């Protein structure tokens, strides 16, 4: 999306675009933004279409004074291995994250919408390349968890479609068109 899209927005809002020259994983991508961030921030992966109240995630993180909060959802077990799978404790705090496991221990997955404190930068600096040669965000998240940081899992109230998979692009278009037609219907 080009910056022209936001030129007529709130004059108090500053948007900084950072272009990655190398695709070395999400932890690496987050580090590219580090010089521009000095407070809590939101990370939203662009291959997702959401219909949910995303502000709830930020509010919950701030209220709980957590170091991060992730919007999560349950998916069918056969689909869980496509995503970052997580495990939570009885308080809804994330205790483990696995990136696309062959045999997922749960069907609770990350949706690609996260809030973080700047503590994530320290963890990203410590991450070593994975077998794929990438600096994986789940590895940084695990480092946060191991250091005693709190990460809340907020279950999604709404829906999400990951359009990073070709079969789901058409489904997302259909879902959005359905909602548009419902909104456009005149009231009786």
Q: Closest Cα to residue 154, out of 29, 36, 53?
A: 53
User: Could you give the domains of the chain?
Assistant: 21-181 (3.90.550.10)
**Of 81-85, 105-109, 182-186, which range is least confident?**
182-186
pLDDT band at residue 3 under the 50/70/90 scheme: very low
| Residue 35, C-beta contacts closer than 8 angstroms, at least 6 positions apart | none
Joined together, the tokens standing for residue 79 give: 């689909």
Residue-wise pLDDT tens digits, 145-182: 999 998 988 888 888 888 887 778 888 888 888 877 76
End-to-end alpha carbon distance in the chain: 38
Residue-wise pLDDT tens digits, 48-82: 888 887 777 877 777 877 888 899 999 999 889 88
Give the mean pLDDT of the chain: 84
pLDDT at 164: 80
Query: Helix, strand or coil for residue 31?
Result: helix
Long-range (24+ apart) CB contacts under 8 A made by 59-65 are 60/152, 60/154, 61/115, 61/152, 64/150, 64/152, 65/150
pLDDT band at residue 108 under the 50/70/90 scheme: very high
- Bridge partners of 101, per DSSP, are none
Strand 108-116 versus strand 41-44 pairing type: antiparallel
pLDDT at 185: 57
Measured CA to CA, the distance from residue 187 to residue 184 in angstroms comes to 9
Residue-wise pLDDT tens digits, 8-47: 566 667 777 788 888 899 999 999 999 999 899 989 888 8
Q: What is the pTM for the complete model shown? A: 0.80
Measured CA to CA, the distance from residue 90 to residue 27 in angstroms comes to 28
Measured CA to CA, the distance from residue 83 to residue 47 in angstroms comes to 12
pLDDT band at residue 2 under the 50/70/90 scheme: very low
CB 70 within 8 Å of CB 56 = no
């Amino acid at each position: 999306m080009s910056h022209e899209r936001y030129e007529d927005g709130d004059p108090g809002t500053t948007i900084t675009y950072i272009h990655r020259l190398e695709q070395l994983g999400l932890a690496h991508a987050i580090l590219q933004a580090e010089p521009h961030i000095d407070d809590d921030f939101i990370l939203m992966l662009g291959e997702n279409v959401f219909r949910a109240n995303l502000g709830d995630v930020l509010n919950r993180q701030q209220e709980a004074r957590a170091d991060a909060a992730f919007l999560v959802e349950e998916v069918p077990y056969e689909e869980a291995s496509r995503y970052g799978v997580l495990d939570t404790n009885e308080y809804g705090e994330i205790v483990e994250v696995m990136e696309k496991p062959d045999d997922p221990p749960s069907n609770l997955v990350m949706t690609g919408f996260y809030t973080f404190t700047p503590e994530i930068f320290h963890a990203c600096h410590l991450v070593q390349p994975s077998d794929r040669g990438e600096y994986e965000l789940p590895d940084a998240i695990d480092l946060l968890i191991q250091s005693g940081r709190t990460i809340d899992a907020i279950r999604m109230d709404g829906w999400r479609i990951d359009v990073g998979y070709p079969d789901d692009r058409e489904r997302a278009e259909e879902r959005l068109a359905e909602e548009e037609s419902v909104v456009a219907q005149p009231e009786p």
